[in-house]
């Protein structure tokens, strides 16, 4: 029986294993530089930065979603950014991904969010089609921008006003 529930601190090791599974699927395993203790502190520490939900079959964690709050100045409403949603390959096409997405959407709705947003890799046509079937719009005119920790450190060391 499938169960979707908020993550508990005891789930951190399983969630990190699922994160590794996601990275392997996306051919990005070399980019996983974090660890379970950082994840634990970011999910359950003094100042949580993110939340997670877990999909279980029996006692076996088979998927997860990780998300955090955002804010839209145009809507003047909170939102949620879905950082990752992942289901182990052998459990796909059984409604697990949809159940995870539904759970996050329900959280967003209950919190009065104006939107739920996430990114998808251009090559991941299966995910794009899944999200579109779910009711999402893939925005063609937006690109993700990112600064690395190294760039942030460089900027932090520069004078604020030139």
| pLDDT, position 162 | 63
Task: Tell whether pTM > 0.85.
Answer: yes
Per-residue confidence at 46, pLDDT binned at 50, 70, 90?
very high
Confidence check: pLDDT of 121 > 90: no
| pLDDT, position 140 | 86
Rounded CA gap, 141 and 162, in Å?
33
**Mind listing the domains of the chain with CATH numbers?**
2-157 (3.40.630.30)
Residue 9 in tokens: 């601190």
DSSP-derived 3-state class of residue 109: helix
Q: What is the enclosing helix (H) or strand (E) of 4?
A: strand 2-6
pLDDT-wise least confident of 7-21, 50-64, 127-141:
127-141
Q: What is the pLDDT of residues 66-83, one digit of tens each?
A: 999 999 999 999 999 999
CA-based angle 15:36:78, to the nearest 5? Answer: 65
Catalytic residues, by residue number, are 131
Rounded CA gap, 127 and 147, in Å?
25
Which residues make beta-bridge pairs with 86? 64
Q: What is the pLDDT of residues 147-159, one digit of tens each?
A: 888 899 998 988 7
| pLDDT, position 149 | 87
């Amino acid at each position: 029986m499938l169960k979707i529930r908020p993550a508990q601190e005891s789930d951190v090791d399983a969630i990190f294993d699922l994160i590794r599974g996601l990275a392997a699927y996306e051919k990005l395993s070399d980019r996983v530089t974090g660890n379970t203790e950082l994840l634990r502190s970011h999910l359950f520490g003094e100042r949580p930065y993110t939340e997670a939900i877990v999909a279980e079959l029996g006692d076996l964690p088979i998927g997860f979603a990780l998300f955090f709050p955002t804010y839209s100045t145009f809507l003047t409403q909170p939102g949620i950014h879905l950082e990752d949603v992942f289901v182990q390959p052998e459990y796909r096409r059984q409604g697990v991904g949809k159940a995870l997405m539904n759970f996050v959407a329900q959280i967003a709705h209950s919190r009065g969010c104006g939107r739920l947003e996430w990114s998808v890799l251009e090559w991941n046509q299966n995910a794009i089609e899944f999200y579109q079937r779910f009711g999402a719009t893939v925005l063609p005119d937006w690109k993700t921008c990112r600064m690395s920790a190294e760039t942030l450190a460089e900027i932090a060391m520069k004078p604020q006003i030139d």
